[in-house]
């Protein structure tokens, strides 16, 4: 039994440690080449250490305690999302950070964890599968997800909102609602996208009046990927295109390189081989989490694991895709690799729940 548990821990933590090493190597190199990022290596190392400590604290306190208090954690996080709109620090047009001199804290990142906890805790208590019961289940899931999304929309943070609803989708899939609900949901999504697209291309003034200039600017920036009209993307593609197997011949400046464009930065710093190692590490983690999800017997943990997995896989695909010019730029960091304190600590908090329960 101990051997099996050790094997599970090795399958989980070896690829994570590999990703952490690649991340630190990139922070060190980019700090040498650009004085703006000089402190990123030491800060990133601190975030990793704090993340490990947080994961161990969850093990010590016991995961069930977090589910028991998930309601209070969720509403406290809502309070933080409201508060940051008034006293938060504005970065790149988004008021989403509390600035504490030595570090910044992003409550929208923490909401990924507290939302998943609360959805899993509340919805795992639902068992009936009648039309009325499933409608109640879906509405409950929707409104629990909608509330933080509205406040994050005001920041605005498009990527976080997408993640929240993907977490909700993962939880719903575990409940196994009738397939017709998915058709109904898909129709609503298509109608919404169609109406939004119509306003964007033919009535932009109405769109600006409804959502404001800041949100319109962000949507406009996201959609520019269609025409490849993006300085960030151009620099990222140049960095990737001029890199060799092990490294590039010269440093190429990429805006937001340690965060959004970490893949381009890694290929530029460490060569194409680093990208291959990153892909294999994530593939190993995805397979591990999928296997553990199917083994999980308790509905609460299964819902939590499914919500995490939807978020985790989407973040990988989106971040790598936008670095290669395949997907729009929506500011999603790459788990365990991109620079960022709150994001890293939150992922370790997820691991603290997932790695320390009997059936997962």
Which pLDDT belongs to residue 247?
Answer: 67
Q: To the nearest whole percent, how much of the chain has pLDDT over 90?
A: 47
* Of 143, 121, 137, the residue nearest 71 (C-alpha): 121
In a domain, residue 359? The reply is no
In a domain, residue 360? The reply is no
* CA 29/CA 250 separation, integer angstroms: 12
Q: What is the pLDDT of residues 213-272, one digit of tens each?
A: 766 666 666 665 544 557 777 888 888 887 878 766 566 777 778 888 999 999 988 999
Q: What is the pLDDT of residues 162-176, one digit of tens each?
A: 999 999 999 999 987
Which pLDDT belongs to residue 195?
Answer: 85
Q: How many residues does the chain have?
A: 360
Residue 360 has pLDDT above 50, yes or no: no
CB of 303 closer than 8 Å to CB of 171 = yes
**The 103-105 sheet, strands edge to edge:** 89-91, 94-100, 103-105
- Of the two residues 88 and 108, the one the predictor is more confident about is 108
Number of domains observed in the structure of the chain: 1
Which pLDDT belongs to residue 208?
Answer: 74
Q: What is the pLDDT of residues 52-75, one digit of tens each?
A: 999 999 988 888 899 999 999 999
Which pLDDT belongs to residue 359?
Answer: 46
In a domain, residue 68? The reply is yes
Which pLDDT belongs to residue 178?
Answer: 82
CA 225 to chain centre: 20
Say what the pTM is.
0.89
In a domain, residue 93? The reply is yes
Q: Residue 357: helix, strand or coil by DSSP?
A: coil
* CA 221/CA 259 separation, integer angstroms: 17
Give me the domain span that covers residue 227: 2-354
């Amino acid at each position: 039994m101990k051997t099996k548990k050790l094997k599970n821990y090795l399958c989980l933590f070896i690829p994570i440690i590999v990703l952490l090493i690649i991340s630190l190597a990139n922070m060190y190199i980019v700090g040498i080449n650009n004085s703006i990022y000089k402190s990123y290596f030491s800060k990133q190392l601190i975030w990793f250490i704090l993340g490990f400590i947080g994961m161990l604290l969850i093990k010590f306190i016991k995961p069930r305690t977090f589910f028991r208090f998930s309601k209070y954690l969720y509403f406290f996080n809502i309070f933080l999302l409201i508060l940051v709109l008034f006293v938060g620090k504005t970065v790149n047009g988004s008021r989403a950070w509390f600035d504490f001199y030595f570090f910044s804290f992003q409550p929208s990142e923490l909401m990924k964890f507290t939302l998943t906890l609360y959805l899993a805790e509340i919805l795992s208590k639902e068992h009936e599968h009648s039309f009325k019961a499933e409608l109640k289940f879906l509405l409950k899931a929707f409104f629990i997800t909608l509330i933080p999304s509205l406040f994050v929309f005001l920041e605005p943070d498009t990527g976080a909102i997408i993640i929240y609803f993907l977490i909700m989708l993962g939880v719903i899939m575990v409940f196994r609602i009738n397939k017709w609900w998915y058709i109904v949901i898909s129709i609503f999504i298509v109608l919404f996208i169609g109406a939004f697209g119509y306003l964007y291309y033919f009535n932009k003034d109405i769109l600006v009046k409804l959502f404001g200039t800041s949100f319109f600017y962000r949507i406009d920036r996201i959609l520019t990927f269609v025409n490849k009209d993006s300085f960030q993307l151009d620099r990222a593609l140049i960095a990737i295109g001029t890199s060799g197997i092990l490294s590039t011949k010269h440093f190429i400046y990429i805006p937001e390189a340690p965060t959004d464009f970490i893949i381009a930065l890694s290929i530029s710093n460490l060569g194409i081989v680093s990208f291959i190692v990153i892909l294999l590490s994530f593939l190993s983690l995805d397979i591990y989490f999928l296997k553990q999800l199917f083994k999980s017997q308790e509905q609460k943990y299964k819902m939590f694991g499914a919500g995490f997995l939807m978020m985790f896989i989407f973040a990988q695909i989106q971040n790598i895709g936008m670095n290669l010019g395949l997907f729009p730029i929506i500011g999603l960091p790459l788990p365990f690799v991109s620079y960022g304190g709150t994001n890293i600590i939150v992922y370790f908090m997820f691991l603290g729940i997932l790695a320390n329960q009997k059936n997962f």
